[in-house]
Amino acid sequence: MQGWPRMISTADKIAYLNQLLQVGFHTLDFGSFVSPKAIPQMADTAEVLAGLDLSKTKTKLLAIIANERGAEDAVQHTAIEYLGFPFSVSETFQLRNTNSTRAESLKRVAAIQALCKAHNKTLVVYLSMGFGNPYGDPYSESILQEWAEQMAQLDISILSLADTVGLANAEQIYTATHTLIQQYPNMSIGVHLHARADQWQDKLQAALDAGCTRIDGAIKGIGGCPMAQDDLVGNMDTSLMIPYLQAKQLLPNLNQSALSNVIRMADHIFTH
């Protein structure tokens, strides 16, 4: 929702997220504790959280944060289990996304990790621009591995490789993901992939072949980071991923009725 051009009402967000909570996903990225000036769409996250019905769901909630202040707000909510921090392999994008350098952001990660441990939360670090960037910043798989090692040194337990603008090919996804899974057996290595309609299956299969079991998606492929660039490739479409993964017996039983309702609601909410 964060990059959607039209403001979505708090009531619509609550209704939509409550329906998503009934589908049976492991984790739901529901909101962001970030500056309302930077991302006005997410200014009502605390109000949205108060409206969620968590009484009949096992889905865990994840909130995105970009600095210690946002993390301090997020950890006060017992319903939130995961905090997600976007750490970019690209210096340009880190400055655009969190108004901090990579060196400054690494210090933020350390401080946020300490907050999470003190409040029994789990920090998820997204290595954004994890397969290259459109800015001309240096990139190689060794650079990605160097930053992954920095996160391992901070005892980060979940690392998600993000193909933020859809540059990755299947071979890159397999190689990078497989390497990190082998190198850090005690760390959960996930992927956050963006893909065009003709790319999603190859990219998804590459992650699966690498041994990845934590894979992000978005209903109808909606979304992306508004701080990246105008011609973003959309998120990987959950409604395409689900039957593909179910055919391989890689998903638990989901509430198909709730999923159908979610898709219908998305058609209504995400209109220009």
141-153 helix and 102-118 helix, angle to the nearest 10 degrees: 40
**Is the pLDDT confidence value at 124 over 50?**
yes
CATH class of domain segment(s) 10-266: alpha beta
Note the pTM of the prediction, 2 decimals.
0.94
According to the model, what pLDDT value does residue 223 have? 67
Mean pLDDT, the chain, integer: 93
Instruction: For the chain, give every domain's residue range.
Output: 10-266
Instruction: Convert the pLDDT of each residue in 213-261 to its tens digit.
Output: 999 999 988 865 555 554 556 789 999 999 999 999 999 899 999 999 9
Q: What is the pLDDT of residues 134-158, one digit of tens each?
A: 999 999 999 999 999 999 999 999 9
Per-residue pLDDT band for 196 (boundaries 50, 70, 90) equals confident
